[in-house]
Structure 1
């Protein structure tokens, strides 16, 4: 793994990310946009899963918000990977970064278990509440861990 990270740090793209003030800023702005789209859509859907605004049809709300959340996730992951290039070895050594990756994996697994399992339309109310509650804990925890990376060492 260390060899891969060292190789990544030496690529032309990694050098550009490290040295380009505007490039890094643009990637960072797109990362924030991805996170905003993801969390905005997920929080609204999760609140509905928990039972808020029951008059809104869950299936239609899911069809509206899930593609936005997926696009936000893909944008955040792509730009996050680019930001990682600024210091791959440094990030890999940070326990907080590893925690962030673990939280992302758990949050994605939670969504996949619901959607690839019963789905929004066929899940029990208990399963919907569980998925929504876990999501409302995990995604903000990912965001907080990511934000703290800029301010803590190690």
Structure 2
């Protein structure tokens, strides 16, 4: 049932046009990479700050600027990623590395959402004591590791 659904997805007009186009697929691929660059480029300074780097800098102004960039990057990466997936949906869905990538993305997003819900994290008033908590340091380390693993999985998938 799922294979038939994925086959129907990749046979739709948009994925077929992406496969047939010399220029559109590479543009969508570049959009995916740009989204990842925005996402990862925005979260690295935040995660490093959670890990204790630049302790003399308050995190709230940094987060106010970088979180919207990270969210836009995530949206762009997901939209372009779905388009890329649709071109060879059956093949990608059956690839264990792709499945791992999806799990890593889910874990990274869950980590970010849990971090935002943490009682010692409020964007308006993050105290330096709260930023130095072991739980927030762990969240920063997890974020860096998970998103880096997502990127690596994506690159390895391109060579399968």
TM-score range, shorter chain: over 0.9
Structure 1: 5+ residue stretches without partners = none
- Matches of 1:133 and 1:113, distance apart in 2: 14
Q: Which residue of 1 aligns with 2:62?
A: 61
Q: Which residue of 2 aligns with 1:12?
A: 13
- What pairs with 1:5-154 in structure 2 (closer than 5 Å)? 5-118=6-119, 119-120=121-122, 121=126, 123=130, 125-152=133-160
Total equivalences in the alignment: 152
Q: CA RMSD in A?
A: 1.3
The Cα offsets for residues 61-84 of structure 1, whole Å up to 9 and x where unpaired, read as 111111111100110000000001
Report deviation, 1:3. Answer: 2.7
Report deviation, 1:8. Answer: 0.5
Report deviation, 1:112. Answer: 0.3
The Cα offsets for residues 53-109 of structure 1, whole Å up to 9 and x where unpaired, read as 011111111111111111001100000000011100000010000000000000000
Report deviation, 1:116. Answer: 2.5
Report deviation, 1:6. Answer: 1.5
Say whether the 8 Å CA contact 1:17–1:85 is kept in structure 2.
no
TM-score by length of 2: 0.91
Structure 2: 5+ residue stretches without partners = none
